[in-house]
Amino acid sequence: METMIRGYMVQLAARFVVEDPILHQRFPQALLADVRRHAMMIKPNDWVDRDKLVRIYHAIAEIHSNDERAVYDDLVRCGAAMGGFATGTFLKLLLKVLTPRLFARKFPDLWARDHQRGRIEIVSVEDDGMVMRFRDMEGYDHFAPVAAGFGGTTLRGMGVKGLEMKVEPWSLKQPTAKEVLILATWQGRSGAGM
């Protein structure tokens, strides 16, 4: 049985690959043409097979397959770009008034809106960080570094300064796990209180 996600996620990942000057040149050209074609046919709110997105993540990982840090960085950049593409004018304004605590409260619902499998629990939210636990993630290879990049874009949009994101576990040998933690820490936040 297929695990489904919203189509916009495939569109955003495809846009990253197509627009990134380095990955665009190194991405397998046959797959790049396929990614472009499928991304144009997919409607943003349609449910599509998650494997279409995982295929893009795997191709990104293959570009620097001998350098785990470079792969991780490319996947984080993919997530950050996807977050940036997804953030329209209205959402940018909303993020300016949203706090990390409010975001943490709504994030599990947002995840469920776009994913038919897996779930998020917010383990903790403090004035200088949060911990998110993703469960039942088998088969969603490389999602965690991408999620760290996407989440980082969102938190920075809220005015978080000095942000660091850490994923546990993730490696090329273990691109996902049944349970994954994303730890976000920051030094402060400009604007309103937490």
Predicted confidence (pLDDT) per residue in 86-97, tens digit: 887 667 777 887
Is residue 33 one of the residues assigned to a domain? Answer: yes
pLDDT higher than threshold 70 for residue 146: yes
Q: What is the span of the domain harbouring residue 63? A: 4-86
SS3 137: coil
Q: Domain check: are 18 and 98 in the same one?
A: no
101 assigned to some structural domain: yes
Q: Which of 37, 55, 86 is the last residue of a domain?
A: 86
Q: Are residues 181 and 96 in the same domain?
A: yes
DSSP state of 136: S
Say if residues 157 and 94 touch (Cβ distance below 8 Å). Answer: no
d(CA 190, CA 125): 17
108 and 183 assigned to the same domain: yes
Has residue 194 been placed in a domain?
no
Contact 58, 115 (CB under 8 A): no
Confidence of residue 30 (pLDDT cuts 50, 70, 90): confident
Same domain? For 45 and 116 the reply is no
Torsion of CA 93, 81, 76, 185, to 10 degrees: -10
Question: What confidence tens digit (pLDDT) does each residue in 132-141 have?
Answer: 999 999 999 9
How many domains is the chain partitioned into structurally?
2
Together in a domain, 52 and 113: no
Say yes or no: 104 and 180 in one domain: yes
Based on the domain organization, do 103 and 185 belong to the same domain?
A: yes
Does 185 share its domain with 99? yes
CA 110, CA 84: separation in Å to the nearest integer? 17
Both 100 and 171 in one domain: the answer is: yes
